[in-house]
């Protein structure tokens, strides 16, 4: 048991060093709120790519819809663990949610990827939406600060016409409503992650 917990401590310390380096390197290249959000994204990616599913909780849902067939929804939560009291209770961990990734399909022709990124207080700061069609890939990125939408990057096709823009102000009503819905869903996924952590402790 001592060897296992020592390995856990080493992994957490090593990863903390990697995250610190990635955060500093990216912030040196970019300034402002968008730069900080992108640095947080790189931190979450480092966790996700660390290996052995060590910093992930995952759910897979299979639903058979009429007219569509089997739809598989995969939800992946990326988190950073910290030992609360390593001396007296090395198994007691806190988990800070970094990112929620949702993937699903409509039949076999359309695939969706959705990401919600959270800051150190588990507040949503970034949303990514991707629709993969046989002929094109549509993407949208929303950036948030203090619960407010501060930037949209869009790259999609509408009625066969490419649409690509970056907007930092003058958001349309549709964009504001979409951003509000994103914030609600981000909060729901955060709540689901907390429920998974509670379920894990039941065993």
What is the SS3 string spanning the chain?
A: CHHHHHHHHHHHHHHHHHHHHHHHHHHCCCCHHHHHHHHHHHHHHHHHCCCCCCCEEEEEEEEEECCCEEEEEEEEEEEEEEEEECCCEEEEEEEEEEEEEEEEEECCCEEEEEEEEECCCCCEEEEEEEEECCCCEEEEEEEEECCEEEEEEEEEEECCEEEEEEECCCCCHHHHHHHHHHHHHHHHHHHHHHHHHHHHCCC
Number of structural domains, the chain?
1
Residue 19 is assigned to a structural domain of this protein = no
Q: Provide CB contacts within 8 A for 159, sequence distance 6+.
A: none
Rounded to 5°, angle at Cα 103 from 98 and 107:
175
Residue 106 is assigned to a structural domain of this protein = yes
Domain hosting residue 104, numbered range:
54-200
How many residues does this entry show for the chain? 203
Which of the residues in the chain have pLDDT under 50? 1-6, 10, 18, 22-30
Residue 49 is assigned to a structural domain of this protein = no
Residue 8 is assigned to a structural domain of this protein = no
**Residue 104 pLDDT:** 94
**Residue 200 pLDDT:** 82
**Residue 193 pLDDT:** 97
Residue 39 is assigned to a structural domain of this protein = no
- At residue 88, φ and ψ (nearest 5 deg) are -95, -30
Residue 167 is assigned to a structural domain of this protein = yes
**Residue 53 pLDDT:** 65
Residue 25 is assigned to a structural domain of this protein = no
**Residue 86 pLDDT:** 77
**Residue 28 pLDDT:** 39
DSSP for residue 80: E
Rounded to 5°, angle at Cα 158 from 152 and 159:
175
Residue 21 is assigned to a structural domain of this protein = no
Question: Taking a C-beta distance cutoff of 8 angstroms, is the pair 63, 54 a contact?
Answer: no
Longest dimension (CA), the chain: 62
pTM of the full predicted structure? 0.81
**Residue 43 pLDDT:** 94
H runs (alpha helix) in 49-91: none
What is the C-alpha separation between 149 and 34, in angstroms, rounded? 11
**Residue 109 pLDDT:** 81
Of 102, 101, 106, the residue nearest 70 (C-alpha): 106
């Amino acid at each position: 048991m001592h060897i296992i917990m020592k390995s856990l401590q080493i992994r957490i310390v090593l990863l903390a060093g990697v995250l610190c380096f990635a955060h500093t390197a990216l912030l040196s290249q970019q300034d402002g709120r968008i730069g900080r959000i992108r640095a947080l994204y790189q931190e979450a990616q480092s966790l996700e790519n660390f290996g052995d599913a060590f910093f992930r909780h995952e759910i897979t849902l299979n639903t058979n819809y009429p007219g569509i067939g089997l739809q598989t929804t995969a939800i992946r939560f990326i988190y950073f663990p910290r030992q609360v009291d390593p001396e007296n209770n090395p198994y007691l961990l806190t988990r800070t949610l970094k990112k929620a990734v949702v993937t699903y399909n409509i039949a076999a022709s359309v695939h969706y990827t959705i990401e919600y990124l959270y800051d150190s207080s588990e507040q949503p700061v970034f949303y990514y939406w991707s629709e993969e069609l046989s002929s094109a890939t549509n993407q949208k990125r929303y950036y948030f600060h203090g619960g407010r939408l501060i930037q949209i990057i869009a790259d999609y096709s509408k009625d066969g016409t490419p649409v690509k823009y970056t907007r930092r102000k003058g958001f349309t009503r549709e964009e504001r409503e979409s951003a509000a819905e994103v914030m609600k869903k981000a909060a729901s996924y955060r709540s689901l992650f907390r429920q998974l952590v509670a379920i894990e402790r039941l065993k």
